[in-house]
Structure 1
């Protein structure tokens, strides 16, 4: 049986976001502009993908101020880390079966 890939993470842009956030230590966060620059995405595109990840409970977005300047921080949640671990395990399993004939194909 082919493993299921999480459709929330599987979209290329969201996968790039999750991979980048997963590289941070648990509990660490990055500013929205920093993440945008790292990924080379537009603010609008990143916002759309972060919203989908936030709806799934995979990222936490905190809006605050540094002095008078608004700052938005993004972090991967525990649930997001677990989902990414499950996603990578499913990919490994899928790749491990590559080249193996399906039952009845011999």
Structure 2
């Protein structure tokens, strides 16, 4: 049983991180506010999970100003997309073997 869990990526064990990567896999990029609204997370909770994914190299963060307002957008990296796909494949394989 333990060998079935080896493909799981701890970075995606959190429901919030699973949600973040899921929406970034199907969108080129999303702003902080768009992610917050889609996932119904608080600012602090979302920021913590985004930072953790960024530190692992799974996200690219782009900060800019739109007019006079700051705008931060997030994009999944190729490394992040591969890690997430591998995680989902491992999860699917695990379920098939039960």
1:51 match = 51
C-alpha root-mean-square deviation of aligned residues, in Å? 0.9
Runs of 4 or more consecutive aligned structure 1 residues displaced over 4 Å after TM superposition: none
| Deviation at residue 78 of structure 1 after TM alignment | 0.6
User: Greater RCO between the two (CA within 8 Å, min separation 6)?
Assistant: 2
Query: Structure 1, residues 1-47: CA drift from partner, whole Å, max 9, x if none?
Result: 313210011211111111111111xxx21111011001000011000
1:2 paired to 2:4: yes
Query: Structure 1, residues 27-83: CA drift from partner, whole Å, max 9, x if none?
Result: x21111011001000011000000000000001111111121110001111111001
Aligned residues: 95
TM-score by length of 2: 0.92
5+ long unaligned stretches in structure 2: none
Larger Rg: 1
Could you say which structure has the higher helix fraction?
A: 2
